[in-house]
Amino acid sequence: MERKSVNSKPQNRKYVVESLMGISKNENQDNFLIIEEKDYSLFYVFDGVGSALNSKKATELSKEYILIHSNSHFNNGLFDFAKLMLETNSYLLNQGIPEVKTTYCSVCISLLNPNLIQYSSLGDSRIYIINPQYLKQITEDDRFSTNRNLLSKYLGMENLSLNDFYTENYNISNNEKILLCSDGFYNLMEQEKARSFEILSKQYLSSIKKNLFSFVINKNLDDSTFILIK
């Protein structure tokens, strides 16, 4: 079993991370990235496109580019996801490596305005908001309407433009949590919504992480990754 796990605390929010290789997989093609700067924190979940030859490499190259260049895209309390992710896509395509394909979702929390989160996604990685009343998906999956099993957009795709990379805002309250996750995680979560909501509604992140690990382990055919921010 391959497992990547993190517990930490950014400047004004706590978070936990877990990434488990799918029981049907030979390697974990999911990945994550957390960047903590003086004025902001960035959280990314990547989910390599399973049918692609170099999906794992796509997640690693994406992390590499974002880690080096993200700071220049944060100005006046706002993060320019569209420009950075279009550049990241070009970086993947310019490597000359076949089928470097991955989805992503990301959240930026600025210390200048901690109650406003910015977020972005491409593909079918998702972001949810959890509050005492409900669990709500705030991103949209990029899938073809005629075949929901096929992605319509992903990193490593040719002919993408700035318009394909959006940045949305969400005003978050103190009693809400942010969940970023790959499809291997949310597919299990959606199958048992009541149990998932019960776990995610717990007060302490350490308890949530322990319960989510037990919830996922040995049931995740696909790689399962989440970042939970409180």
Fold of the 3-229 domain: Phosphatase 2c; domain 1 (3.60.40)
**Residue 205 confidence (pLDDT):** 94
In 3D space, the residue among 23, 26, 31 whose CA is nearest the CA of residue 4 turns out to be 31
Q: What is the pLDDT of residues 178-223, one digit of tens each?
A: 999 999 999 999 999 999 999 999 989 999 999 999 999 889 999 9
Phi, psi of 71, deg, nearest 5? -60, -30
Report d(CA 145, CA 147) in Å as an integer: 6
Q: What is the pLDDT of residue 166?
A: 82
Quick check: pTM over 0.85? yes
Give the residues of the chain that fall short of pLDDT 50: 1-3, 10
Res 11: pLDDT: 53
In this structure, the number of other CB atoms found within 10 A of the CB of residue 13 comes to: 17
- The C-alpha angle with vertex 66 and arms to 61 and 72, in degrees rounded to 5, equals 150
What's the pLDDT at 8? 54
Residue 122 CB-density burial (10 A; 0-12 exposed, 13-18 middle, 19+ buried): buried
Question: Which regions of 96-138 does DSSP assign to beta strands (E)?
Answer: 102-110, 116-122, 126-130, 135-137
At 221, list the tokens.
């055919």
CB within 8 Å of 203: residues ≥ 6 apart: none
